[in-house]
Amino acid sequence: MGGRLAAAVGLAVLGLAAGRYTAGQEQEQERGWAAYDGRDWRGFTPAEKRAYVMGFLAAGALADAGRAGAEGPAALGRVIDSLSRGGGLRFPFGHTVYVTQLDEYYWWENHRPTRLYLALWELNRRLATHER
């Protein structure tokens, strides 16, 4: 149950973080979080970029805690704190690291079709192995 709860909460966080409305314009066609790519990223405001990445990191931490067997809010909090302190989170860096890395990654036009979640996975892999 912990894994399903983490996934559901994570998807809800990502959905809230990625929802975009522009004052004075019609609501954009609703797309799922998995459809966002570098073209969307480059159109996000700084606050939207932070929200997206923080939602992604929260979802990742919840999934990590669920895999560790945590069920319920209290256990999830304890396990996430423990994983964070012990370097056990799959995405261990702060949101500013990922936002900066995504800005640099999507500067390159050939990277822009890459989905955001795949770019985050790739950047995290590079950071973990000190690749450039």
pLDDT digits (tens, 9 = 90+) for 29-83: 678 889 999 999 999 999 999 999 999 999 999 999 988 988 888 899 899 999 9
Cα–Cα–Cα angle for 59, 60, 62, nearest 5°? 65
The answer to whether 73 and 81 are in contact (CB under 8 A) is no
Contact 68, 83 (CB under 8 A): yes
- Specify which residues 37 forms β-bridges with: 115
Q: Which pLDDT score, from 0 to 100, does residue 52 have?
A: 95
The residue type of 45 is T
Range scoring the smallest mean pLDDT among 1-5, 58-62, 77-81, 127-131: 1-5
Q: Delimit the domains of the chain by residue range.
A: 2-17+33-129
3 state DSSP class of 104: helix
Residue 69, pLDDT score: 87
